[in-house]
Amino acid sequence: MKKIILASMMSLVIVGCGASTTEMRALGAKTYSIQGNAQNSKQCLLDKLNDLRPDRMLINELGDHTEIFIGATQAGKFRNFYLFDISSKEIKLSHYNGVFPALSEQEADSYIKSCQ
């Protein structure tokens, strides 16, 4: 009986963590201006986030901008906690209000500031 209750509680915790890519795009974002070359800023950010590859990072190259999603696979779906949206003039950071031990909000902020 205890195993059934524990399994039920764990499934609720797993399903409720993170956000879909669509939900992440709809969240508010903190905006940082890019001081120099956008391609260099993107590469710098990818280098800083490299430890999260390949299983905790999803990259979408969309021509005029690049999306970097940071999250984890839960119950067979990739659930996101961060979205770095890089365009030619700015980096936008969206953060889902869940706990993601692999990257803190302060770390994400400092990575962007060091790559502007």
pLDDT in tens, the chain (116 residues): 555 443 444 433 444 589 999 999 999 999 999 998 999 999 999 999 999 998 899 999 998 999 999 999 888 889 999 999 999 999 999 999 888 889 999 999 999 999 98
Nearest to 92 by CA among 57, 116, 73: 116
C-alpha distance from residue 21 to each of 1, 41, 44, 65, 71 (Å): 36, 22, 23, 15, 10
Tokens found for residue 54: 């390949």
| Angstrom distance (rounded) from CA 116 to CA 91 | 8
